[in-house]
Amino acid sequence: MLLECDASQLLLVDYQDKLMPAIFEGQAALGNALRLAQAARLLQVPVWGTEQNPDKLGPNAPALKALCDRSFSKMSFSAAVESSLLNTLLSGAQPANAARQSPSGGNARSLPKHLRKEAAPTPPERPSIVIAGCEAHVCLLQTALSLLEQEELEVWVVTDACSSRTERNRDAAFDRLAGAGAELVTTEMVVFEWLRDCQHPAFRQALALIK
């Protein structure tokens, strides 16, 4: 199974100014998060950010926050318990830079009552949640596990854009996430799967991000 660009959303968890200096290989993780966000903006994939207790830990790194369509503050370690974020992910909201298109097929409410069918739950248009963040064994882990409980969603964890204060905690998080059913990927895997081939109009721009 490969990632589909049009079915993806990018969720970046807690790359906060006061947290990152304590993170193992934090600058490398942040650098890959920036590459992911830049590729997502280029390919019109929605980008969401979260910030844990920002009054104490500060905002996300400014360059990263600027690439997010929206940032969500939270107090819970799992961002998925915040209804505003979860509803956004489940709705498959479009990124701010995407061209808006009118839905095809008309409005079911405009049909005569005897022709209307009972509305079934609408699956999200973008069910693939590509997620990365800090700390991998706390907020990233709890958010990803919560999202895996949503049958409509699939979770892809970008390992080289995640970290914790210690390498052991980071790696333990990956082991647990893999066992729970998350797909473990890397930044380059995500970008090349979003592109699919070298004839993609954005190929050269995307390639420049990861070289």
Domains parsed from the chain with CATH numbers: 5-96+122-210 (3.40.50.850)
210 versus 66: the higher-pLDDT residue is: 66
Residue 177: per-residue pLDDT: 98
- What residues pair up with 10 in beta bridges, in sequence order? 47, 130
The C-alpha atoms of residue 61 and residue 203 are separated, in whole angstroms, by: 27
pTM comes to 0.87
Residue 14 pLDDT greater than 90, yes or no: yes
The C-alpha atoms of residue 10 and residue 192 are separated, in whole angstroms, by: 15
Residue 112: per-residue pLDDT: 45
Residue 100 pLDDT greater than 80, yes or no: no
Distances (CA, A) of 29 to 58, 189, 210: 18, 15, 13
The C-alpha atoms of residue 6 and residue 170 are separated, in whole angstroms, by: 29
82 versus 171: the higher-pLDDT residue is: 171
Residue 122: per-residue pLDDT: 73
Residue 91: per-residue pLDDT: 87
Give percent of the chain with pLDDT exceeding 70: 86
State the pLDDT confidence band at 119, using cuts at 50, 70 and 90. Answer: very low
Query: What is the average pLDDT across 103-111?
Result: 38
State the pLDDT confidence band at 196, using cuts at 50, 70 and 90. Answer: very high
Amino acid in the structure at residue 33:
A
